[in-house]
Structure 1
Amino acid sequence: MRILLLTIALLFSFYSTVSAQELILGTIFETKGENALTAQETMNGAILAVKKFNDSNQNFKIKLECESSTNEPLEIIRAVHKLTATKGITAATGIISENAALSAAPVFQAAQLPFLCTGAQLSGLTTPETPETFTLAVSDSKIGTDLAKYTFATLEAENIFLIRSDMNDSTAKQAESFSANFKTKGGTILSEMRITEPDPDLSYIMKAIEALAPLPQSDSKKTEDAMGVSNYIDEGAAIITQKRTPPPEIQEIEAVVIFASAKVSAKLLSLMKEKEMAYNIVGGTSFDMVAMKKPIASWSGNIIFASQASLTRENNLVKLFVKAYTELFGEQPQTGYAALGFDSILLLAHAAGTTGNPSVNIRTNLPAVNKFKGVSGEISFKNGSVEKPLYIIQSDAGQISLAAEMQ
C-alpha cells in the first residue's frame, strides 16, 4: 500500500511539472488482481522511466494517464475504453497477463491507438492484421524452447518429471513448447502430471513423484540354487549358493520441471520441501513473480527459471536501474517485469520522436527499432514482436545469479 500511495503521489507531481510540449502515454496494469504485486513493480518501472526521461529533457516531457484493473475481461475493456477516450493520448502500454492482453489489444486496435504490451508472453498477439499492437516480452514458445535446451544440454537432466498447466494459459503454452523440444533433443519425460484447475489438490502429484523414487538396494531379490556335488562316498550332497539380483532398473528423476501459476508453483515447492525432496527444479516465467520470491529463497537446493530480464547481470544500465528504483521506491525490484515497465516507456518515447504526429511516428518507427539498449537487454522488433534475450536465472540455496542469456 505504501508503494501504491507513493506511486499516486509521483504521478501527480509529473502532471504538475510537464511542459507545454508533452508526450501523453496511457498505462494499464492489473494492480487489483492475482498478480497485483508483480503488476505494481511493472508500473513502478514505468514511473521511474518517466522520471528519468523528464529529468533529462528540458523542453519535452512525458505525461502518464494511468488505469488499474484486475485481469477480468470486462474490467480490462472498460479500462481500455477510458484510456482511448483520454484527450491527446498518443499510445498505451502495460498489461502482464495473457487474458488481459487478449481483451485489451482488439479495443486498442479498433481505436487505432498504438499499444505496446509490456509483459504478456502470448505468441501470435501481433499479426499483419493488428498493426497497432506490439509486444515487449519474449514469447511463450521461445521460453519453452530455450528452457528445454538449457535443461537438456547445460543442466544435463535427461530424465524429468513434468508438472504442467492444462488450462490454455501462458504456462501451458510454455509447457507445450518445452515438451516438444525436450523430446526432440533426446530427453525422457518419466511422468507428466497435468493441472486442470486454479487451486488443485496436489497430493496426487507428490505420490507420483514418490513412486518414481529409486528403490533401496535391500529390496533386491534373493534366490537359492542347489548345486549337486560328490562327497566321494557315493552319498548325494548339495551346496546351497545364494545369488542376489539387482533391483529393477528405474530411471532416476534428474529434474522436476514445473509450468504452473505462481500460486500453484509455490504450493508445490512447499509440499516438496515438507517431504524433503531434493530435486533440481526448473520453472517457467511464473517463477519470476513476486509471489514466488519467498518460496524460492527458502528452497535449499537448485532452482532454474526463465525471466524476461536479469537484475544481477553485469551491465551498467541494469545497475543504474536497480539503484534508481531502490532510491525511488524504498526497496529493490524483485522481478524482471520491473525492467520491462521501464523499457516500454522509453521505447515509446524513442519511437515518438519530438516532431510530427507522435502516434503516426510510433506506428511507423517502433517496428523498425533495432538494437535499442534497454534494461531487459538489446531490443529489436520484427513484425510487431520483440527480439530480445531470455534470461535463465539460477537460485542456489536462495542465492540468485544469472545462469545464461539465451539469444
Structure 2
Amino acid sequence: MTTGFFDGIAPVRYEGPDSTNELAYKHYNPDEVILGKRMEDHLRFAVAWWHSFAWEGGDPFGGQTFIRPWHPQDDMGRAKLKADVAFELFEILGQPFYCWHDADIRPEQADFAGNLKTLEEITDYMGEKAEGTGTGCLWGTANMFSHRRWMSGASTNPDPEVFAWAAATVKGCMDATHKLGGQNYVLWGGREGYETLLNTDLNQELDHMGRFLNMVVDYKHKIGFKGTILVEPKPQEPSKHQYDYDAATCIGFLRKYGLENEVKLNLEQGHAILAGHSFEHEIAVAAAEGMLGSIDMNRNDYQSGWDTDQFPNNVPEVALAYYHILKAGGLGTGGTNFDAKLRRQSLDAVDLVAGHVGGMDICARGLKAAAAMIEDGGLEDALKARYAGWETPEAQAMLGSDLATIQARVLSEGIKPEPRSGRQERLENYVNRFV
C-alpha cells in the first residue's frame, strides 16, 4: 500500500538522449561503464531528506508554501509517513543513497531523552523500510543550528551545557548512522562561528571545536564505524564569521588539531560560490591534500547573495567538478548528494521527481564529459607543457639550493626569462568541445 503522494508517477528509466519524456533519464544510465566503472558507482547519488521532505517552502521573507500530508512535523505518526513517502521517491528514482539530519526525520521533543528515543524509533523504521530496496544511507548528521539552543554555536558555545548536549546528540546520530549502515558521518558547523569579537574568545572556541572533533573520531573507532568522518565548509551564512569558511580553512584546522589523517571534506557547490570560489577549486584544493571525501551537488542563483540550493543545470561547471574528482581517484565512500530544494512555487509531487531527474542527468553529462577529457588527455598535456621547464636537472637542483647560489647562476648564465602565454582561451575552447 502506498501513501498516494506520487500517484500516477512510474519509476524513472533511462530512455536515451532522444527521449522527450520529462520523467526519463536521457543521460543517466546506471550500468553504462565510464573509465572502467559503472556510472552509478562513480556518481553514487543521494537524496537529501531535509530539502526533499522536511522543507516547507519558506524563505527569509515568507513562510510555508508546501502543504504536505506529513506537515506539521511534530509527531511520530507523521515522521513515519514522511519516511514512507521518502522510500516511494527512492523507488521512483532508483538512486542508491539518502542523507539525513536528526531533526529531518524525528519530531523535536521536550528533552534530550525524548529526542534520542524518537531518533532510535524512526531510524529503526527507516532500516526496515530500506531492506531489499537497494537504497542505503550515504551519511547522517546532527542539526545543531536550527533550535534556539544553538544560537551561539554547538561545540564552540560559551555554555558548557550546550557543548554537552551537542556531544550527546552527535553520539546518538553516529549510533543511528552506524545502525543504518551509513558510509560516512558529516559534521556541518552550522553556527560554529561568531557575530562579533566583542563577546568571543576565538582561541578557546577553536580549541573546543578541535577537541570535539577528536572526540568524534575516538568514538568512531570505539564503535567500529568503518565510514569516513567528514566536515563541510561554509562561509558566513548563518554566522558572520564561520570557522569552517572554505576547504583551505578546514584543512588548516584539521592539521592544527591532528585530524588530517582521520577526517575528510564534504564540499558543496553553493558553499564554494559563497566563499568566492568555484566548485572545481574547492575540489582541487581538497584533493591536493588527500582530503576529498564527498560532495553536495546544487547551485546558487548568481544574482542573489545567499545559499539558494537549486538543482544543478550547468554542464560545464559540473564537468569540471567531476574532472577533478576523477583525477583524484573518485569519491571513495562519498557520493553526490543533492543538497537541493524545489523553488517555493514548485508545489506538485511531480516537481520533486523532475528536479532530481534533471539533476541526475546534468551530473551524468558532466561525468561523461570529464571522462572524455581525461581519455583525450588534452588538459593534462597542456599542463605538462606549461611546467616542462621544471623537469630539467638545473631546475630540480635549484629547489635544493640557496638564494646566493641561484643568484650566481642567474648572473653567470645571463638568465633573462620572457613571459609565455597561459593559453586560457584556447583551453576554455578545448573544454567546450566536450560539454
TM-score by length of 1: 0.29
TM-score by length of 2: 0.27
Which has a greater percent of helix?
Answer: 2
Larger radius of gyration: 1
Which has a greater percent of strand?
Answer: 1
